[in-house]
Structure 1
Amino acid sequence: MNLETHEPVAENLGVLEIAALLRELTAALLDIADFDEALTRLVTVAQRTVPGVTWCGFTALRAGEPAGVAASDPRLAELDDLGHGAESPAMSAVHRREMVLSTDLAAEERWPDWTARACALGVRSVVAAPVDIDDHVIGALNLYADAPDALTARRQLTAMLLAEHAGLLLAGVRGREQRTALTNEIDETLLQEGVIGQAIGVIMTQRGCPAPEALQVLRSAALALSIPLREVAERLVVTVSRSRGA
């Protein structure tokens, strides 16, 4: 990514401020397994912690198609939504694979329709930084200000670092989301499977709990006893059968 400035980097970067921002962002996204929720937290943290930024949005694409939008202010969500038109700073950043800046939208000519909507909403300057997430999902982090020339060189650099770090964190979210989906598929299979399904039914009856909770009880017992899940299920079913036959 290229910063549209010739000022020395050392004069622009507040190391402690950047470290605090990245730490807060990491804490906000560390345990999330839902991609849309992660985007919402990302734009909330960015809007609150980056000086000079009035609003923040995120545009996500999966396999080249719109895959998600998040905005710190719902009024501005349309600026990040490609359904309102593909010509925008976000798409320019994605296509060019570098940060895109407009210091004064009143004089901007690159995205006329988008710029008209942005100005009507009170946006006066914007910086969009591309975010690489994984092989299937990419996006752009969009920082907006309500005054021209508000997105200084230091804030541009902050946007670049924030986008790089956000890409790593969002990749982790995507991984957790995919693992959760796979686990849910496995759970559905187990709930229908022979003796394990029977054992789950027994636990549901005994405890008055739903099937997912009963499956977790069975898993906890298998872990505590260090034996396979199926064996725990067989033991439970045999024990219950014997007690009923006594």
Structure 2
Amino acid sequence: MTLQGEELAAVFARLMRAASREPLDTQMLLAACAESGRRVYGARGAIVQYAPLCDNSVRTEGTGSALRTLATDAVAWKEGPGCEARSSGVALINVDITSRPARVRWPSWAPRAMALGFGRVTALPLASSSPSFGALVLLGPPGAVLDEEALALVRSLAEVAAHALALQRHACESRTLADQLQLALNSRVVIEQAKGMLAMRYGLTPDDAFDRLRRYARARRRKVVELAHEITVGRDDIQSL
């Protein structure tokens, strides 16, 4: 059974609200993705994997504590439909977990999923551009019949989820860049102040004052900005070099 249009719109709106939440909360967004996938597909459970491009970590979420544990373990095992869809960028549709090929393919993941009562899995990569940076995994009971209409809807959901995650990632990267630029500006101001104080104190040109500051810091294995700050607050007085 698929969701009605208004319900589907509400699901998509919930994802976008989670993506723009202040402060940014990636885990909340992942939880919204998992629950939305479960509802749209009519699945018994859902898991989300997300690998930020800025580091090598993989974040996970699931509908229920058992699936959250399975999601975390799957990353540690480096196996399962989520890992495969995320790394390959290829969707896995209606895979029979109970089959021998699936158990050979995922020797740790498949038995755990079966023990939780699941028998079928569909995994869709999450990608706003190539390569994919996540996966939405939908789990159903043994013998579950694939609903083509629900699959079409969940593909749309995967696109929206990927877009939401990309928006949040870009916002996070923009804030990080802004913080770095502000730090660089603050450091420059402190260094300029220290240069001016040294130039006046020792009758130096600004360039000579900076050269003296830099050599003094290097000789003591200090950062120039840290030494400059101490000079501006009167805790260090360069007299050598």
* Shared fold per TM-score greater than 0.5: yes
Please point out which of 24, 31, 46 is paired with 2:14: 24
**Residue 104 and residue 54 in structure 1: after superposition, are their counterparts in 2 closer, same or farther (change >3 A)?**
same
Aligned to 2:75: 83
Alignment check: 8 A CA contact 2:15 2:29 kept = no
Which amino acid is the alignment partner of residue 34 of structure 2? Answer: V
Query: Could you list the per-position Cα deviations for residues 68-94 of structure 1 after superposition, in whole angstroms to 9, with x for gaps in the alignment?
Result: 112222311243334332231123323
Local SS of the residue matching 1:87 = coil
Alignment check: 8 A CA contact 1:93 1:99 kept = yes
Local SS of the residue matching 1:106 = coil
Alignment check: 8 A CA contact 1:60 1:137 kept = no
Aligned to 1:154: 149
What are the equivalent positions in structure 2 for 1:26-175 lying under 5 Å apart? 26-31=16-21, 33-47=24-38, 49-50=39-40, 52-62=42-52, 65-81=56-72, 82-102=74-94, 104-107=96-99, 109-110=101-102, 111-113=105-107, 114-133=109-128, 138-149=133-144, 151-175=146-170
Local SS of the residue matching 2:29 = helix
C-alpha distance in 2 between matches for 1:38 and 1:55: 17
Report the alpha carbon displacement of residue 53 of structure 1 after superposing the two structures with TM: 1.7
**Residue 44 and residue 52 in structure 1: after superposition, are their counterparts in 2 closer, same or farther (change >3 A)?**
closer
Query: Could you list the per-position Cα deviations for residues 110-162 of structure 1 after superposition, in whole angstroms to 9, with x for gaps in the alignment?
Result: 33421111111222221110111456761111112245315522222222111
Query: Could you list the per-position Cα deviations for residues 150-198 of structure 1 after superposition, in whole angstroms to 9, with x for gaps in the alignment?
Result: 5522222222111111111111000111122233334555666759xxx
**Residue 187 and residue 151 in structure 1: after superposition, are their counterparts in 2 closer, same or farther (change >3 A)?**
farther
| Worse overlay, 151-160 or 178-187 | 178-187
What is the percentage of aligned positions where both structures have the same residue? 22
C-alpha distance in 2 between matches for 1:191 and 1:96: 44
Local SS of the residue matching 2:101 = coil
**Residue 21 and residue 58 in structure 1: after superposition, are their counterparts in 2 closer, same or farther (change >3 A)?**
same
| Worse overlay, 59-68 or 34-43 | 59-68
Where do 5+ consecutive residues of structure 2 fail to align?
Answer: 191-241
C-alpha distance in 1 between matches for 2:130 and 2:152: 25
Q: How many residues align?
A: 187
C-alpha distance in 1 between matches for 2:181 and 2:27: 23
Local SS of the residue matching 2:98 = helix
> TM-score, normalised to structure 1's length?
0.61
Radius of gyration: which is bigger? 2
Which amino acid is the alignment partner of residue 28 of structure 1? Answer: A
**TM-align CA RMSD:** 3.5
Alignment check: 8 A CA contact 1:127 1:151 kept = no
